[in-house]
Amino acid sequence: MGTGPGRWVLLTTVLGSGMALLDSTVVNVALPHIGADLDTDMAVLQWTVNAYMLTLAGLILLGGALGDRYGRRKVFVIGVVWFAAGSLLCGLAPNAGVLIAARALQGIGGALLTPGSLAIIQSGFHPDDRARAVGVWSGLGGVGAAVGPFLGGWLVDGPGWRWVFLINVPLAVLCVAVALRHVPESRDPHVHTGRFDVAGAALGALTLALVTYALIEAPGQGPSRLVIGAGVAGLGLGGAFVRRERHLADPMLPPDIFRSRTFTAVNVVTVCVYAAFGGFFFLAALQLQVVAGYSALGAGAALLPTTVLMLLLSARSGELGQRIGPRIPLTVGPLLCATGMLLMLRVGEHASYVRDVLPALVVLGLGMVTLVAPLTATVLASVDEGRAGLASGINNAAARAAGLIAVAALPLAAGMGPEAYRSAAEFGSTFRRAMPMCAGSLVLASLVAVLSVRRPEGVSAEPQCRMQAGVSGPAIEPGRSESA
């Protein structure tokens, strides 16, 4: 940690993961401006978010496997370049179709670079310094998350929404230059043989794509043959994915890892929690601008309390979870988050930030602080140490997929029409129907935790566990440190 090479490795990984983090924190704030500039409906705004999430969730496990075999630095650099190319195309997109395709390309880049950032730290630092390095990496990522809403709002209100994407290009150039010069190559010596489960990754991605398409297009098209066909085909491919993974000798998603009751339960909690988070942050940024009349900068700044609380208190929450076990934090945390989301029902036209918005976001932020670090630590501790990377990748993919489906399904479930974001009255009424649904998902997560989560053997007060607890959990939009 005290050497120049160590600092260069940290700078590289922070720049790489920071690009993806900044992108996720600012896009939601830019959505109303994207819709107005490109003259699009609500479905296009959903696809702007979900095209990225779709390819990221579907390919992130494959991205981690590629890095382990062919070199973590090599795959990380390819991912950064790919992400920057997608960002450039997003910034220059002449229409909604090109923007959505470019977002999907960004997701592929994210799936290559995201697993590599923490893997490079894990392989590059001496074990005695690894915990501190991960802590610095996580802390700087938190600072990036805190800056993101301000930067995104300023860019959208200033030079325009396209700079939300274009800003990634110079960051990528710097990241690649530092990585090629200062980051040593590493790979897993045990994975030079065997085939990649490319077909499994394709089946998983197609399943998510078809189900997402059906959910997003249903409000505009109704129960058309295309919508129903896409939904049925998606479910069929999902079944084919499960069958393939069960019978393949070296699957991307080994079914036997779910023999751990705690691992399975925590992943169910993850799906419920991050479905609620994904739906909330997508709709809340729109609610603040469309209904409450905030500017893009104002909406981004308004959402800051959750990120600031995560930055200040996550490490202490992780230590508390080590002492008392994960069951109480994973039960209480979702209930606090559900309360915060229900308090957002007070946010309407001419809402007072101090009276209406801030209390909801403080309660939500405290709930996130309570549950995220113990959630990550429990995922890693519920399997053998040699499978910690796989467990983290699965949990990461589950969180991404949950957010993806929530952004697609929640507007449909709330009765949000294709032009809802253009009307304060219409959007406000559907937002009030959506928040109890998000809260219900969190209550379900709490019930699963209290009934099924127990302290794994690995979750103790030992110092090495504190490192894991301090790393942020899966895919909070905004705010997530990635591990694979």
Residue 402: CA count within 13 A, CB half-sphere: 27
Q: Is the dihedral of CA 342, 343, 345, 347 positive or negative?
A: negative
Specify the residue for token string 């990550």: 376
CA distance 12 to 28: 26
Question: H or E stretch including 95?
Answer: none
Measured distance CA(351)–CA(382) in Å, rounded: 44
pTM (two decimals): 0.82
Max Cα–Cα distance, the chain, nearest Å: 62
Distance CA 29, CA 37 (A): 14
Give the residue carrying structure tokens 């983290």: 392
The predicted structure's pLDDT at residue 79: 93
Q: Sorting pLDDT into bands at 50, 70 and 90, what band is 462?
A: very low
pLDDT, one tens digit per residue, over 131-162 is: 677 667 766 766 666 677 778 788 888 899 99
Task: Please report the pLDDT score of residue 468 as a whole number.
Answer: 33
- End-to-end CA separation in angstroms for the chain: 21
Q: Report residue 457: phi and psi, to 5°.
A: -60, -35
Summarised one tens digit per residue, pLDDT across range 230-249 is: 999 999 999 998 899 888 87
The pLDDT tens digits of the residues spanning 274-311 come to 999 999 999 998 999 999 999 988 888 888 888 888 87
pLDDT at 379 over 60: yes
> Higher-confidence residue: 267 or 323?
267
Which pLDDT does position 252 carry in this prediction? Answer: 77
**How many CA within 13 A on the CB side of residue 421?**
26
List CB contacts of 168: < 8 A, sequence separation 6 or more. Answer: 19, 22, 23, 83, 84, 87, 88
Type of residue found at 405: I
pLDDT at 476: 45
High-pLDDT (> 70) share of the chain, %: 88
